[in-house]
Amino acid sequence: MLNNIDKALRIGDLNLSESLDNLKSLAIEKARLVKLAQESARARILSGCADDALMYGIENIPSDETEQLKKFGCDSWWFKQFKTLKKRKLEQVARDLELVHKHQSSYVSNYTNNRRRQEKLLSRQFLESTYINNELGEEFSLAEVYDKNVSNPAIRRAELMVRAKGFEELAEYHHHQALFITLTTPSRFHQIKANGTANPKFNGATPREAHHFLNEEWKLIRSAIHKKQINPYGFRVVEPHHDSTPHWHLLLFIHPDDTKNLIKTFQHYALQDEDTNRINLKHRIKCVTIDPEKGTATGYIAKYISKNIDGHAIEKDLDGKDATEAARKIEAWASNWGIRQFQQIGGAPVTIWRELRKLRDPVDNPIIEQARKAADSSDWAAYNLAMGGVNLPRSARPIQPYYEEQEINLVFNTDTGEVINEPNIVKKLKGLSTGEQITITRKHEWKISGSVNSVNSGTEITEFAEQPCGRGRHRGSGRGYGRNDDQQTLDADEIAAQYEAYVD
C-alpha cells in the first residue's frame, strides 16, 4: 500500500511528497533554464517545459510563445502549480484509502480540512498585519478590505440572496416558471456508497474530473436550448456528495411554454451517456416545478447557498452533523479541487453591479444613474431592467466595464516577504463606460504601507501577491450588504482579490 502511495506521488522528476522548500527549489530550476536559454535554443527549451507541464498534469498550458516565456520563466508560476498538484494528489490518495465519506470524514479528508484551516488562520494574521494607503493618506488593513467585500462569506451569502430574490421578482414580472433541477454524475464517478462500502463501478475519477463531466454535459444542453431560443436565467450551485463527488443544483426561471422542452433536453443529453438509461435516469436528473403557493424559489435555494458558504441559519446537514463545520469542509473541498461553487446563469453582469455600488453620489450619466440607483438600493430586478433585461447579450448591454493598462508594483519577495519593485503591466478595472462616456469608480491608487515580516508564515503565505507571471487576475467588488455608510470607496479590492486568488 505504501509503495502504491509513493508511486502515486511521483510524476517524472516531480516528487509531491517533498517539502514545499524542495518544490520551490525545483520551481526555481525550471524557471532558470528558460531564463538562461539562448534565443536559438529557446523554442526547444519551451517545448520541453510544455511537455513536462503536460506530464505533471498541469492545466491551461499556454500555447503562445510569449505567454510560455512569461509562465515557464517564472518560478512563482511553477511553484503555484506544484503546490496545487501536491494538495490535490494528497487528497486523492486519501480518497483512494477510503478516508473521505460520511462514515469517516465527509466531503474532504481530515488532513485537507486541517490544512485549509491552518491556511486561513495564517492568512488572517497576514491580512491583519498588512496595511495599504492611498494618495490621500487614508490607511486600512487588508483585513478591513477583505471583511467589507464579497471575500467575506456573510457578504457573499447576502449578495447571492439579493440576486436570487431579484431573479424571482423578474420571473413574477414576466410570468415565468421557476424550476429546480439537480444534476448528478453517473455511478462510475461515485467512489463510496451511502452505507460506507466501496462502489465497484468507480472509475478512479477525481472530483474535478467529475465536475468537468457535468460541465461538458451542461455545454451541450445550453447549446441545444439556445438553438431552440430557450433562455433560462438563475443560478447554479455546486456541492459535494458525502464522498466528495460533485453534483449541481440549478435554479432556473423560464417561460412556462418552454418547461417541458427544457426538461426533455436535460434528459436527452443525460441518456447519451453509456451508463445512463431510462431506469436510472431519475438518479441522474431530478426536476421540481416550484409552486409559489407552497414556497418561494429564493427560499428553495437559500439553504443550498447557506450550506455551501457558512451554514448560517442551518443547524445540521443531511447527515445530522454541525452545519457550520460542514460548510467549512465544503469550502475546503471547493478550494482544494478548484471548483466554482456558485455561477449566475443569464442576467446582467455582477461586475458592473459591484462597480455601481461604489458610486456613492449621483452621476450626470442618465444610463449609469438609473442602474446606480437600483444597485445602491440592492434591487437586482431593477438593475437588470436598467441593463436591458435578463436575456440581452453581454456585448449589447448599455453599460460596459472600463479597463486601463497600468503598471503594478505589488510584488513580494518569496523568501523574505518584503515588497519589491518588479513592474508588471496589466489591465485594471477602473470604471464603467456607455459608449464614449466614462465614469471612474475606482478613484484611488493603493500601495502596501505596512510590513508583512511580522507574520512568520513562510512560503505558504508570503508569495501570495506575486503577479510578475502575466496573470493579471482581478475581481471587482462593491460595498458590503448591511454596510457601514462611513466606509470609504475601497478600490483596493483588487489587492484583496489578488490575495484571495493566491490562497485558493
Angle between helices 323-337 and 297-307 (to 10 degrees): 80
| Residue in the structure block whose three cell numbers are 423578474 | 170
Closest CA to 172 of 262, 259, 260, 298: 298
Q: What is the DSSP letter of 245?
A: -
Residue 251, C-alpha cell as written in the block = 435554479
Q: Which amino acid is at 103?
A: H
Find the length of the chain.
504
Q: What is the DSSP letter of 429?
A: E
Non-local (6+) Cβ contacts of 142 within 8 A are: 126, 127, 128, 130, 131, 132, 495, 496, 499
Report d(CA 466, CA 464) in Å as an integer: 6
Report d(CA 92, CA 8) in Å as an integer: 9
Residue 392, C-alpha cell as written in the block = 440581452
Q: What is the pLDDT along the chain (504 residues), one digit of tens a residue?
A: 667 888 889 999 999 999 999 999 999 999 998 888 767 788 889 999 999 999 999 998 998 988 999 899 999 999 999 999 999 999 999 999 999 999 999 999 999 999 999 999 999 999 999 999 999 999 999 999 999 999 899 999 999 999 999 999 999 999 999 999 999 999 999 999 999 999 999 999 999 999 999 999 999 999 999 999 999 999 999 999 999 999 999 999 999 999 999 999 999 999 999 999 999 999 999 999 999 988 999 999 999 999 999 999 998 887 788 999 999 999 999 999 999 999 999 999 999 999 999 999 999 999 999 999 999 999 999 999 999 999 999 999 999 999 998 776 555 444 444 444 455 677 889 999 999 999 999 999 888 876 544 433 333 333 333 334 644 333 333 344 543 333 333 445 555 555 554 444
Provide the β-strand partners of residue 141. Answer: 131
Q: H or E element: which one contains 248?
A: strand 246-254
Report d(CA 362, CA 142) in Å as an integer: 28
Report d(CA 269, CA 220) in Å as an integer: 7
Q: State the pLDDT at residue 481.
A: 52
Q: Where are the domains of the chain?
A: 2-97, 123-148+348-354+394-503, 155-345
| Residue in the structure block whose three cell numbers are 507541464 | 53
Residue-wise DSSP of 339-371: ---EEEESSS-HHHHHHHTT--S--S-HHHHHH
Q: State the pLDDT at residue 419.
A: 45
What order do you get walking across the sheet with 400-408 strand by strand? 400-408, 424-434, 437-440
Closest CA to 350 of 386, 375, 382, 376: 375
Non-local (6+) Cβ contacts of 389 within 8 A are: none
Residue 191, C-alpha cell as written in the block = 467512489
Q: State the pLDDT at residue 417.
A: 43
Report d(CA 24, CA 74) in Å as an integer: 11
Q: State the pLDDT at residue 416.
A: 41
Q: What per-residue string of b and e applies to 183-209 under the rule 16 or more CB within 10 Å gives b? A: bbbbbbbbbbeeeeeeeeebeebbbbe
**Which residues carry out catalysis?**
300, 304
Q: Which amino acid is at 497?
A: A
The CATH class that applies to domain 155-345 reads: alpha beta
Non-local (6+) Cβ contacts of 394 within 8 A are: 349
Asked if residue 201 lies in contact with residue 188, where contact means CB atoms within 8 angstroms, the answer is yes
Q: State the pLDDT at residue 423.
A: 58
Cα separations in angstroms, 356 against 253, 362, 373, 392, 439:
25, 11, 8, 19, 10
Q: What is the DSSP letter of 256?
A: G
Q: State the pLDDT at residue 448.
A: 84
Report d(CA 322, CA 327) in Å as an integer: 9
Q: State the pLDDT at residue 453.
A: 44
User: Alpha helix (H) ranges present in 228-376?
Assistant: 259-270, 281-284, 297-307, 323-337, 350-356, 366-376
Neighbouring C-alpha atoms within 13 Å toward the C-beta of 487: 23
pTM, two decimal places: 0.88
